[in-house]
Amino acid sequence: SPQSDRMATGGYRNVKVWKRVHKTESLLTGLNATKLNRQSISSNGKQLAYFDVAGKLEILDLESGQSTRFLKSHASPVTALTWIPSGQLLSVDASGAWSLTTKQETGFASKTLTLPNPRKAVSIQVADSALVGVDDAGKLFTARLAENQVQELKEIEGFDGVSALQIVGSNPAQVAIGLKNGNIPIGGFDGQKIQVTKTLVIGAPIQSIDFSASANRVLVSSEGKPVQIWDTQTAKMVASLNSDYARNQQIRFASRNAKRQKSKVDGYSKKLPELQKASDKEKEALKKVQENRDKAETELEAKTKDVDAAKAKVTEAEKAVAAAQAALAAAQKQIESANKDLEAKKKAIEDANGKRDGAQSELDERDQALAAAKDSANRVAALVPEMEKKIASEKQIQSQLEQALKEIESKPLQNEVSSFVLAAGTNTAVLACKDKQLRAYSLQDGAPLPNLYSGASLKGLLITPGDHKLLALSEDGELLRVPLGSKWNLEHSVGDPNESPFSDRITALDFSPDGKLLAVGSGPPSRFGEIQLLSVDSGKVERSLGEVHSDTVFSLKFSPDGRQLASAGADKLCKTLDVATGKPLRSFEGHTHHILGLAWQDDGQVLVTASADASLKVWRTETGEQIRTISGFRKEVTAVQFVGLTHHFVMSDAAGSIRLYNADDGKQMKTFAGAKDAVFGIAVSGDETRISAGGQLGQIWTWQLSDAKLLSTLPQAP
């Protein structure tokens, strides 16, 4: 799923939904951890000791769960403690008293050590058979451990204002020293002195530090700053740990949604002047048509007047004929002349009628042209308010998305830390924060990882030696074992071969951008292709979209804004549907073989389809227009995916080709070499730095996107 917390798999008439979980195990309860002061775990990882602020000691056997509780070994609050190689617990209190606690047959017993020059230690750690500590004056000191005693206690000169200390390794041990002046000297310790080889300049008084097992990373808490990761080889800061995985995910999705919506509104706004211009052009054309029609009407009126004039002359001629006939005897010659004149006048009527009929025909044609022009002008003019209405609606959505982003960004991250630890062997930094979140970060680059725990306030974190398990003491007296990795638990199993809402094998799956819906494609070959929408939370079919295709569905993709669903299948068609109503929106026709994959550009305006006809097609989603075809592949094009917010997409084919293209011009940008045989699936990493592909050979290849360098092949070929 886009949130990385769920995974869906499909089989024959069955869909399974799996959920990523961090299952915290409760080891012990009822501990007196509310007033936790100091804690330490034995070198064999079997015993945990902690003191409360009153100086009372409790030792927990992590294997049996037994507790030796409230040994009164100090009269003052304990300021430092550590397990020494002999399996005894060494502790120092605020008065400067040193105590050694030893396991005996009847339990544990503590004795006070007599030292020639005791120091009020605030930190003590063991390096081989030596001890290094920090006293309450900020001085470093060392001592030798022998015969259940602390011997040769003396100051290590050259270090003042020490506020934190951490030791890892042996022969020689590596020491990191936190100073109040904001520096961290790092060097080797040979049991007597410290040879500084590097100094980290933090710039603020150091409060606490932790050292990675390989000594190449230091976790630093300093005054007024977030916890930081530093590289000891380069003496440079790797990352400042002031982010949260879940919050970063929310911001990333909200920011992407807001940008996408703004792009959509901007696109529609750019079209509005074009529509207005087209409307104005239609109005101008209508004006000319109206002028021609009016001119034709004027000509018709003139021709009608000519007919009337001709008729009046005929009437006069008829009167003359009548008069001439009355005087026929006297005016035979005049009758003949009048008849000739009458014929001429009748011929004039015929000519005038013909011209009038022509003018009427012209007027009829002009009336038809006028009606067509009015219809066209009205249709184009109607597009302007429609587009204005669409822009207003999309702007409202944009405002909502931008407001959601502001609300997420405005909530301050409560990342104040109560305890932290480097998890050796897992490349992870873990912070117990006062907002009751246990946050994890990559030690390599500081990237936030999914939070490990959310619940009670955690007072202390420990890593067990050897198996590197993370233990946490909660404020309400519970000892927890927190897994640093995650597991996938089966959340829902929908359908089976005998009874199922799905007609055939599952051939396509896709999560909606908000992770709430799962689109499921199926369908028996050559019969139909069906699509159903599954509720991820309930595992039930929320809506059936029916037999959308006439053959098996091979690919499903929600639009980036989640409002549309694109589907493609063996019927050579790609279709888009409205998710809210299930109604079909567009059909994209043009491929001559099965469509095997499809991808949306992030702004939702462009679709790319990959087909068994060895071609890619780029489509405009709003109109269904085919923008271009990219061909020339040796075999079926099997998969396609866009790279983030860009117009670039990667594709794969059955010949093992992996390439990067630009959707704007169809030009090839990169080729990723190394894959063999048919490739069926490709993926782009969330940070858009890597792409991976897998296929027929059962291998996964990963490349660096920037330079197409092959980074890994898993598993390695024999």
Amino acid identity of residue 659, one-letter, is: R
- pLDDT score of 423 more than 80: no
- Between CA 333 and CA 676 the distance in angstroms is 114
- pLDDT score of 414 more than 70: no
Residue labelled with tokens 């089966």:
490
- pLDDT score of 614 more than 60: yes
Encoded tokens for 326: 């009355």
CB contact set of 226 (below 8 Å; sequence gap of 6+) = 240, 241, 242, 415
- pLDDT score of 597 more than 90: yes
- Between CA 334 and CA 337 the distance in angstroms is 5
CB contact set of 107 (below 8 Å; sequence gap of 6+) = 68
The CA R_g of the chain, rounded to the nearest whole Å, is: 43
- Between CA 242 and CA 417 the distance in angstroms is 10
- Between CA 669 and CA 677 the distance in angstroms is 22
- Between CA 82 and CA 126 the distance in angstroms is 8
Provide the 8-state DSSP code for 457: P
Mean pLDDT, residues 446-466 taken together = 84
Task: Kindly give the residue spans of alpha helices, DSSP state H, lying in 116-226.
Answer: none
- Between CA 604 and CA 353 the distance in angstroms is 63
Three-state DSSP at 258 gives helix
pLDDT digits over 374-408, tens only?
777 777 677 778 878 877 888 888 888 888 878 87
- Between CA 125 and CA 123 the distance in angstroms is 7
- pLDDT score of 718 more than 60: no
Among the listed ranges 237-251, 550-564, 588-602, which one has the minimum average pLDDT value? 237-251
- Between CA 175 and CA 173 the distance in angstroms is 6
Mean pLDDT, residues 462-484 taken together = 83
Check if the beta carbon of residue 658 is closer than 8 Å to that of residue 675: yes
pLDDT digits over 274-311, tens only?
878 888 887 888 788 788 878 878 887 887 787 788 77
pLDDT digits over 656-691, tens only?
999 999 999 999 999 999 999 999 999 999 889 999
- pLDDT score of 254 more than 60: yes
Beta strand extents in 97-243 (DSSP E only): 98-104, 107-113, 121-127, 130-135, 140-146, 149-156, 162-168, 173-179, 183-189, 194-201, 206-211, 217-222, 228-231, 236-240
Start-to-end C-alpha separation, the chain = 33
Residue 48 pLDDT class (50, 70, 90 cuts): confident
Is residue 412 classed exposed, middle or buried when 0-12, 13-18 and 19+ CB atoms within 10 A define those classes? Answer: exposed
pLDDT digits over 691-706, tens only?
999 999 999 999 999 9
Encoded tokens for 521: 């494609």
pLDDT digits over 346-364, tens only?
787 787 777 777 777 877 7
Nearest partner of 26 among 459, 483, 486, 479, judged by Cα: 479
- pLDDT score of 590 more than 90: yes
- Between CA 405 and CA 603 the distance in angstroms is 18
Three-state DSSP at 175 gives strand
Among the listed ranges 56-70, 161-175, 237-251, which one has the minimum average pLDDT value? 56-70
Q: Which strand (E) or helix (H) includes residue 62?
A: none
Q: Which strand (E) or helix (H) includes residue 613?
A: none
597: left (phi over 0), alpha (psi -120 to 50) or beta: beta
Length reported for the chain:
718
Three-state DSSP at 614 gives coil
List beta partners, residue 48.
41, 60
> What are 244-252's contacts with CB under 8 Å, separation 24+?
244/413, 244/415, 244/437, 244/439, 244/448, 244/451, 245/439, 245/440, 245/448, 245/449, 245/450, 245/451, 246/450, 246/451, 247/408, 247/411, 247/413, 248/448, 249/3, 249/4, 250/408, 251/405, 251/408, 251/409
Provide the 8-state DSSP code for 179: E
- Residue 93: count other Cβ atoms within 10 Å of its Cβ: 24
What pLDDT does 371 receive?
A: 79
- Between CA 589 and CA 569 the distance in angstroms is 12
Nearest partner of 19 among 627, 552, 460, 488, judged by Cα: 488
Check if the beta carbon of residue 110 is closer than 8 Å to that of residue 99: yes
**Helices 332-410, 245-326: crossing angle, 10 deg rounding:** 170
Nearest partner of 399 among 262, 302, 516, judged by Cα: 262
Encoded tokens for 139: 């001085």
Beta strand 517-522 with 25-28 is: unpaired
Three-state DSSP at 618 gives strand
Encoded tokens for 674: 């190394």
Nearest partner of 433 among 249, 210, 243, judged by Cα: 243
Residue 606 pLDDT class (50, 70, 90 cuts): very high
List beta partners, residue 429.
422, 441
pLDDT digits over 321-331, tens only?
777 677 666 66
Residue 502 pLDDT class (50, 70, 90 cuts): very high
What pLDDT does 656 receive?
A: 96
What pLDDT does 329 receive?
A: 63
Interior angle at CA 701, CA 699 and CA 705, nearest 5: 165
Output the pTM of the full model. Answer: 0.76
- Between CA 200 and CA 182 the distance in angstroms is 9
